[in-house]
Amino acid sequence: MAIVVESTGLSLGQSLLKRVFDVTLSAIGLILSGWLILLAWFAASLDTRSNGFFAQKRVGKGGRLFTVVKIKTMRPDGKLTTTVTRSGDPRITPLGAFFRRTKIDELPQLWNVLLGDMSFVGPRPDVPGYADKLQGEERAMLSIRPGITGPATLKYRNEEELLAAQNDPETYNREVIWPDKVQVNLEYIRNWSLGRDIRYILNTVFH
């Protein structure tokens, strides 16, 4: 069930500009990287002995659930059921680690952007239990589409290593990292500009 979002977030003009940019860039991206996505899917299928695409329900704009698509980088492990991934996670295959390091696993999300489920830049789409639990002005985070990258993603680009150093990664993620991500994303919404989005994309690709 969708969540009613109290904040209007971006203006109509800003939202339209952001969407036109997303549609244009995602279409170009899919044309240029389609061969790589198919190659990565085939390799991941062999590597994980299953469908090389990973699909999972995530919380999107307005609190609506959508299915995010990525290249699969992990094999199931009956001993680990957490959705929090940390460095050295035994579920991550060697090839999967390469895909994650090079961001190849993120490429199928270009389809999510084209469909309108996601944007290039915005809060990362989380599994239910985080964004859908926001209250008050923090629910403004749900007023925009989640992104492939963004200021919080860049700030915590070493999140897996950070979580690996914690005795209780899930609690640290819930009580420390997640609240900070919320504030970073709210600041992003308040100061949105297309130029900033382009800089975040370039910082993601070239760093």
Q: What is the pLDDT of residues 61-99, one digit of tens each?
A: 999 999 999 999 998 776 666 666 666 678 889 999 999
Please provide the average confidence, as pLDDT, over all residues in the chain: 90
Which residues, including other chains, have CB under 8 Å from residue 81's CB and lie 6 or more apart? none
Give the pLDDT band (50/70/90) at residue 54.
Answer: very high
| Inside any domain, residue 61 | yes
The residue type of 196 is: R
Domain count, the chain: 1
| Inside any domain, residue 4 | no
| Inside any domain, residue 59 | yes
Q: Which of 105-114, 162-171, 185-194 has the lowest mean pLDDT?
A: 162-171
- Give mean pLDDT, residues 167-194: 93
pTM of the entire predicted model? 0.87
CB distance 71 to 37 below 8 Å: yes
For residue 134, the model assigns a pLDDT of 86
Range of the domain at 78: 12-206
Tell me the two tokens of residue 192.
Answer: 């949105």
| Inside any domain, residue 7 | no
| Inside any domain, residue 1 | no
